[in-house]
Amino acid sequence: MLTNLEHLGLAVHDLAAATALYTTLLGTPPYKQEHVASEAVDTVFFRVGGSKIELLAGTSPESAITKFLARKPEGIHHVAFEVDDIRAEMARLKEEGFVLLNEEPKPGADNKLVCFVHPKSAVGVLVELCQTIDSADGD
Ligand SMILES: CC[C@H](C(=O)O)C(=O)SCCNC(=O)CCNC(=O)[C@H](O)C(C)(C)COP(=O)(O)OP(=O)(O)OC[C@H]1O[C@@H](n2cnc3c(N)ncnc32)[C@H](O)[C@@H]1OP(=O)(O)O
Ligand SMILES: [Co+2]
């Protein structure tokens, strides 16, 4: 089950400028700034009620964010859903014919295990599944 809209990921060129803008827009400062080396991204997280905004900047030419921004304007990059059991959800979606971009859950930002679903499987939206690591059974 997908239980919650965990975060909306926004791709930006200038993370500091976008962080200042969203701090003003949301009326609250970010609760976390985190580099995810495996994705070559710097991330900044804001809480908005029960959901979050994740700002992302690429830190290398190979970063998915850098590649995205080479083709598309700044803006929504992905939508992330919270799951209780990421392996079960991956198996379910694979069975249903969704294209998963990683075969195994992988470490994400903000203390999560994550998996991405190809945009082509989800009406052009890159989908991320997130399971909080504390609740992962020894993954
Ligand atoms: C994990 C840390 C953090 C977290 O929250 O925990 C993150 O969220 S990190 C976020 C960055 N990491 C990723 O996005 C990993 C998954 N992404 C990928 O594997 C690629 O970006 C992929 C496969 C979605 C696209 O790869 P690439 O850009 O090399 O492929 P193409 O340029 O050929 O694109 C193929 C096709 O997809 C369209 N596309 C690409 N990115 C997106 C997107 N974000 N949303 C919607 N559509 C997207 C692209 O336009 C191409 O479409 P086409 O019609 O063929 O032109
Ligand atoms: Co994300």
CB atoms within 10 A of CB 119: 14
Strand locations in the chain (E): 2-11, 32-36, 41-48, 51-58, 75-83, 106-107, 112-117, 127-132
Quick one: which of 39, 127, 45, 118 has its CA closest to 78? 127
By DSSP bridging, strand 51-58 and strand 75-83 are unpaired
The model's pTM is 0.95
| Radius of gyration, alpha carbons of the chain | 15
pLDDT at 61: 98
Q: Which domain holds residue 50?
A: 2-135
> Is the CB of 44 inside a 6 Å radius of any atom of ligand 1?
no
pLDDT at 138: 47
pLDDT at 69: 98
> Is the CB of 112 inside a 6 Å radius of any atom of ligand 1?
yes
pLDDT at 106: 97
pLDDT at 135: 56
CATH of the domain at 35: 3.10.180.10
pLDDT at 134: 78
Domain count, the chain: 1
pLDDT (tens, 9 = 90+) of the chain, 139 residues, equals 999 999 999 999 999 999 999 999 999 999 999 999 999 999 999 999 999 999 999 999 999 999 999 999 999 999 999 999 999 999 999 999 999 999 999 999 999 999 999 999 999 999 999 999 975 554 4
Which among 81, 126, 128, 133 is the best mutation to test ligand 1's pocket, defined by most ligand atoms within 8 Å of the CB? 126
Q: What are phi and psi of 83, to 5 degrees?
A: -130, 150
> Of the bound ligands, which one is closest to the alpha carbon of residue 121?
1
| ipTM tops 0.85 | yes
